[in-house]
Amino acid sequence: MTTSSWAVARLLRDRNAALYLTGVVVSGFGTSALWLVSGVWVKDLTGSDGLAALCTAALWAPTLLGPVLGTLADRVPRKPLVIRTNLALALLLPSLWTVSSPADVRLLFAVLLLYGAAGVVEDAADSALVVAAVDPALLGDFNGLRMTAREGVKLIAPLTGAALYTAYGGPSVALLDACTFVLAAGLCALLRVREERPERARGNWRRQTAEGARLLWAHPALRPLVGAGGATMCLASLGSSLNYAVVDALGHSPAYTGVMYAVQGVGSVGVGLVSGPALRRLGERRFAAYGIALTGVAVAGRVVPCDIALLACSLAGGIGLPCVLIAAYTAVQREIPAAALGRATATADTLMFTPNVAGLAVGAALVELVDHRLLLLLFGGGLLATAGSLAHRNASRTADRSPSDANPA
C-alpha cells in the first residue's frame, strides 16, 4: 500500500476524522445547493442580473470581518460553538419560506449575510477543533481530504439544488439546507475531543482581534504563504472573470463554462487525495509554489484556441489552485498556538479570499476594455512570478517542513 493510500485509509478508520469529513459532505451539499439557487431565485423574482450576482457577494462579504468574527472562536469552547452555529442556521433558513415577491428579496439578502457570517465563525472554530480531533501527523492528509470532500460535493449539489428549485421552488432548497445543518450538528456532537478551557480574555476585543494578524505577520513561514495565497486567489479570479470571453471566442454558448467548472472540480478532488504525501515530500512552501506555477500555466494556456487545450487548462487549474490553500491552512494549524488559532485562521481567510472578490470585479471591468488573450497572459505571468517569489524565500529548513514530516508509514 502506498503512503498516500495508507494515510487516507488511516484517516477514514479514525472515528473523529470520519465523522468530521461526513459533516463536511453533508453541510457542504446544502450550502452548494443554496449558493446556486439563491441567484436563480433572485433573478426570477426581480429580473435583475445585478441583484442575482449580489447573492454571491452577500455570502462572501462577512469574510471582510474575519479577524473580528474569528475572535469569538477563541473565547468559547469550539465544539459547542460549532454545534450551536449549525443549529442556529437550521432555525434561520426556514424564514426563507416567506420569500415570494421582489419586496421579500431584502430578507433573502439578510439571511445570506448572516449565513456567511456564521460560516466565518464556524470555519475558525473548525480549524482549532480539527487540531484537537485529528492526529497532528496527518493534518496535511486531512486538509487534503477535506478539500476533496468539499469540491466533490460541488460536482453534484448545484445540479440537485437546481432540480429541486425547478420542481418545488426556492423554499424547498432552504429546507434541504436546514436539514443538512441539523445532521452536521449531530455529527459534530459525536466527536470525542478534549478541549482545554479557553483562557480568560485579556484586553478588549480589538486587541484580541489584532493578535491573530500579528501572529501571522510575525511568523517567517506563515507570512509569505498567506500572502502568496491572497495573490494567487486574486490573479486566479481575474483569470476566471474572462471565462465567458474565452468560451465565446471558441464559438460556444455561455453554458459551456459549466463544463469547464466540472473539469476543474475533478482536478481539485484529485489533488486533495495526494496532498498529504506531497506536503511530506516537498514541505508547505514548495508544494504551494508548484501549485501556483501550475495555475499560472493553466491561466495563460487558455489563449490557445482549442477545446482540448481549454479543458486541459481547466483540469490543471483545478489541481494547482488548492495547493496554496491546503499548505497555508496546514501551516497555520501547526504553527499558531491553539488559544489563538480561531483568530489566526479567520484572518488568513480574510487575507486570502477578499482578493478573490476584488479580482472578480476588476476582471469583469477589464474584459470590456482589453483583449482577453493579453489579459490571460498577464495574469498567468503574475501567477508564475508569485510562485517564483515564494519558492525562493529564505525560510529556514525547519520552518518550511510540513507538520507531517515524520512519515506515518
Interatomic CA distance for residues 115 and 60, integer angstroms: 10
**pLDDT (tens digit, 0 to 9) for every residue of the chain, 409 residues total?**
455 555 667 777 778 888 888 888 898 899 888 887 888 888 888 887 667 767 877 887 888 888 888 888 878 888 899 999 999 999 999 999 999 888 889 999 999 999 999 988 888 888 888 887 777 777 778 888 888 888 888 778 878 888 888 889 889 999 999 999 999 999 999 988 776 666 665 656 677 777 777 888 888 888 899 999 999 999 998 888 788 788 888 887 766 776 788 888 888 888 888 888 888 888 889 999 999 999 999 999 999 989 999 999 999 999 999 999 999 988 988 888 877 888 888 888 888 888 877 777 787 678 778 888 999 999 999 999 999 999 876 444 333 333 333 333 3
- Cβ–Cβ contacts within 10 Å for residue 389, how many? 15
H helix runs in 14-104, sequence order: 15-46, 49-60, 66-72, 78-92
- Terminal CA-to-CA distance of the chain, rounded, Å? 10
Region of residue 283 (left: phi > 0; alpha: psi -120 to 50; beta: else): left
Q: How far is CA 11 from CA 5, 19, 276, in A?
A: 10, 10, 11
Question: For residues 155 and 262, is the Cβ–Cβ distance under 8 A?
Answer: yes
